[in-house]
Amino acid sequence: MSHDPSDPALRTEALEALLTERGVVEAPAIDRLIAYYEEQVGPMNGARVVARAWSDPAYRARLLTDGRSAIAELGFEGPQSEHLVVVENAPGVHNVVVCTLCSCYPWPVLGLPPSWYKDPAYRSRIVREPRAVLAEMGLALDEATEIRVWDSSAEVRYLVLPERPAGSEGLAEDALAGLVSRDAMIGVARIPPP
C-alpha cells in the first residue's frame, strides 16, 4: 500500500482507528460487516435469482409481480431492497438501470455498485442517449429495440432479468447461475451463449 496521505485506504484506516479508540465502533463489528459484503453479498446472489427465474416459470411470475418477496424466498434481503422491482428483457425490449441522483443499487442481490455506475457521465448520459452509451459499453442494440431506462431512488431499486441465452437449454440451475454477469443484471450487457 502506498502511504500517500490522500490514499483512501490510509484515510479509512485512520478513521477506523480513531472511531475505535473513542469507542464509537468496535473492530469486530467492522470486520463482520466487511466479511459479510465480501463473502455473502454480491452479483452471485442476483445470478441465483435469475437462474431460478429461467428454470421455474412460477418463480419468474412471482419475481416480476413482487420482486422483494420472491428474492427473499432465496434468503436475500436487507437494506436497499425494501422495494425491489424486477424488469424483464425480451426480444425487442431492453431494460437498463441507473440512479441519476446518486448511486442507489440493489445491494442484497448485486453487492456494492461498480465505480462507473456512480460516475456522473453514466448517470446523466444513459437517460439522454441510452443507445449510444450502451454501444460504448459494448452492447450494440438495433434501432428496433426499445430501451427502457429505470431511475432508481431511495424508494425503489431495480434488477434486470436478462434474456436466457440460446444454447443454455440443457443447463441446470447452478450452471445457469454461472453464466449471469453483474453487468447483465444492471442492463449494460447481454449474456452470451455458453
Q: Figure out which of the listed residues 102, 132, 135, 140 binds Fe ion, where binding follows CB under 5 A.
A: 102
d(CA 82, CA 71): 11
Residue listed under C-alpha cell 431492453: 94
d(CA 2, CA 10): 8
Distance CA 68, CA 163 (A): 20
Indicate whether 35 belongs to the interface with Fe ion (CB under 5 A).
no
CB of 95 to Fe ion, least distance (A): 18
Beta-carbon-side half-sphere exposure of residue 141 (alpha carbons within 13 Å) = 25
Cell numbers at 175, concatenated: 450452471
For Fe ion, give the closer residue by CB, 50 or 99: 99
Minimum CB distance to Fe ion, residue 128 (Å): 18
Q: Does 104 bind Fe ion (CB under 5 A)?
A: yes
> Is the Cβ of residue 74 or residue 149 nearer to Fe ion in the bound state?
149
> Is 186 a binder of Fe ion (CB under 5 A)?
no
DSSP helix/strand/coil, 68: helix
Number of residues assigned to the chain = 194
Size of the site for Fe ion (CB under 5 A): 5
CB of 99 to Fe ion, least distance (A): 4
Residue with Cβ nearer Fe ion (40 or 103): 103
CB of 153 to Fe ion, least distance (A): 7
Which of 63, 87, 99, 160 touches Fe ion by CB under 5 A?
Answer: 99
CB contact set of 18 (below 8 Å; sequence gap of 6+): none
| CB-nearest residue to Fe ion | 104
| Catalytically active residues, by annotation | 99, 102-104
User: Grid coordinates standing for 182?
Assistant: 453483474
Under a CB-based contact definition with an 8 Å cutoff, are residues 149 and 96 in contact?
yes
Summarize as ranges the residues that interact with Fe ion (CB under 5 A). Answer: 99, 101-104
